[in-house]
Amino acid sequence: MTTPCFASPRCRPSERGFSLIEGLIAMALLLLIVTGLLPLFTRSMLNNVQGDEATRATNIVVDDFERLLSLPFDSLDISVPDGGTEVVRDDALLLAANLWHDAATIPSGDQARFLRTTTVRQYNVDDLLDNGILDNPLPGGWTPSQVHIKVIDVDVANPRTTDAPPYTVRVVQSY
């Protein structure tokens, strides 16, 4: 019967297993590798959060456009009132309540997840024909037969991030 190597004094050192120093070196190498990989995981989590925010902002813009485009051309929601050349609405998607609210009067204790600015301008087709650019918006009070084109811009921004530009979408409606 042969005796196992760990019980025999004649075994070679390579057959006895790891020494304490070898174990410490292996742990130090493992720690070095894991330390190098940790920033990748934290960056990945940050990218996932930013991607989620971008998806939410895009969905907000699409939802707002679907609502505005479903309105008749002469609807009051997309008509410029007397005395102005555009309609600007500022809304905020509240973080805690998760609903849209007037951006000027955010309730105390809540903050905006997104800020949405909707701008509506109206034009006559002659403005496009003279130089190819819509540069002379019609003031409010014009009859629907004189307003042929409406330009609707929706900007959605995340007020909690300062480096991200707003998402801007423009649609042009004609009558």
pLDDT digits (tens, 9 = 90+) for 125-140: 888 888 888 888 888 8
User: How far apart are the C-alpha atoms of 158 and 49, rounded to whole Å?
Assistant: 13
124 pLDDT band (50/70/90 cuts)? Answer: confident
Domain-located, residue 156: yes
Domain-located, residue 167: yes
Q: Which residue has the higher pLDDT, 125 or 57?
A: 125
Domain-located, residue 95: yes
Instruction: Give the pLDDT of residue 27.
Output: 93
In total, how many domains does the chain have? 1
Two tokens, residue 163: 């480096």
Mean pLDDT of 112-117: 86
Q: Lowest mean pLDDT: which of 6-10, 119-123, 164-168?
A: 6-10
> How crowded is residue 154: how many other Cβ atoms within 10 Å of its Cβ?
23
9 pLDDT band (50/70/90 cuts)? Answer: low
Domain-located, residue 37: no
Mean pLDDT of 98-106: 82
Residue 75 has pLDDT above 60, yes or no: yes
Domain-located, residue 67: yes
Domain-located, residue 115: yes
pLDDT of 30-55, one tens digit each?
999 988 888 888 899 989 988 887 78
Average pLDDT over the chain, rounded to an integer: 82
Q: Which domain holds residue 168?
A: 45-174
Instruction: Give the pLDDT of residue 12.
Output: 59
Domain-located, residue 9: no
pLDDT of 83-94, one tens digit each?
888 988 898 888
Instruction: Give the pLDDT of residue 11.
Output: 60
110 pLDDT band (50/70/90 cuts)? Answer: confident
Cα atoms in the Cβ-side hemisphere of radius 13 Å centred on 56? 15
Residue 3 has pLDDT above 70, yes or no: no
Domain-located, residue 26: no
